[in-house]
Amino acid sequence: MRQDHLISAVDLSREDIEAVLDRAAEIDANPAAFRQRHAGTVLGLCFFEPSTRTRMSFDTAMKRLGGQTVDMGPVESSSVKKGETLADTVRVVEGYADALVLRHPSEGAATMAADFVNVPLVNAGDGAGQHPSQTLLDLYTIRENAGLDDLTIGIMGDLKYGRTVHSLAEALTNFDVNQHFISPESLQLPRNVRYDLHASGASVKEHTELDEVLPELDVLYVTRIQRERFPDENEYRKVAGEYKIDDETLAAASDDLVIMHPLPRVDEISPEIDDSDHAKYFEQAHNGIPVRMALLDILLSNDD
């Protein structure tokens, strides 16, 4: 991992991932020990797209480390509406903060922004590109429930536009994992992501139906169809609601199957699953606090 930024899951080695997850486990076990670790530190939140979990968990993580946050607020009430460029925005906010978290609708925006700042920058989602801090909390959730080696993981839903999928798939190549990708043909993995996975030696298999592989899975990672990224509303309607997990779906699943979702969900997981032993998606969301605390702690402490 580049010590000053986290832009992509490609930046992360197995050693990097385990360092963050181990630190998160320390924080989970004894949060009071980290309460004033970064007192006086300010984290700048630059969100050019809507966010609930990512924005709130970074805000909470910084405050639980003893720091504060400064938020540029909605795009509609910012200088972006006056025509300010992303480069100028991050250079200005850099003057107010010790680190930045950036979400932007354009793929590659975080890479570009990182060239203009001299404080740590975390990519909190760049269009259909990457979302590496989400991947770290996903991996933490998988490790806590199933370990991180000798696993068969299914990733289902919008694999074309789903940035959480792209990041997670890249990071999983560091572990002994078989990856199965389930999606409509029109939403399969982008060619560049598939190429990178094969180049990393990953075991990758693609399917259009969940029942082809469900009994083999240790983990099922479900994603929503990314309606906001479709250039054509009619194309979205063709695939909306194509996959749905309910009690009947899981009849063939292992009793130990872990079901995850980066949220928000629409209708791809029935609420009847929420109280089952399979459901780990709310635990997954809550894991954003210790994991993002760990990530900020490492980046702000200049740890190796």
Give the active site residues. Answer: 53-54, 82, 103, 131
224 annotated as ligand-binding: yes
Residue 2: Cβ within 10 Å count: 13
Residue 260 to residue 22: CA distance in whole angstroms? 21
Cα angle at 90 between 87 and 94, to 5 degrees?
Answer: 140
Instruction: Please indicate if the annotation marks 53 as binding a ligand.
Output: yes
Pairing, β 68-71 against β 5-6: unpaired
Using DSSP, state whether 208 is helix, strand or coil.
coil
CA distances from 80 to 13, 45, 74, 90, 169 (A): 35, 14, 10, 11, 33
Is 280 flagged in the annotation as binding?
no
φ/ψ bin of 201: left (φ > 0), alpha (ψ from -120 to 50), beta (otherwise): left
- The two three-digit tokens of residue 134, written as one number: 């989400």
Q: Which residues lie closer than 8 Å to 184 by C-beta, 6 or more apart? A: 208, 239, 242
Between CA 301 and CA 186 the distance in angstroms is 44
Residue 81 in marked binding region: no
Residue 102's SS3 state is strand
Q: Is 103 annotated as a binding residue?
A: yes
36 is in an annotated binding site: no
**37 annotated to bind ligand:** no
Length of the chain: 304
Would you list which residues are annotated within the binding site? 53-54, 82, 103, 131, 134, 163, 224, 263-264
Would you list which residues are annotated within the binding site for carbamoyl phosphate? 53-54, 103, 131, 134, 263-264
Would you list which residues are annotated within the binding site for L-aspartate? 82, 163, 224
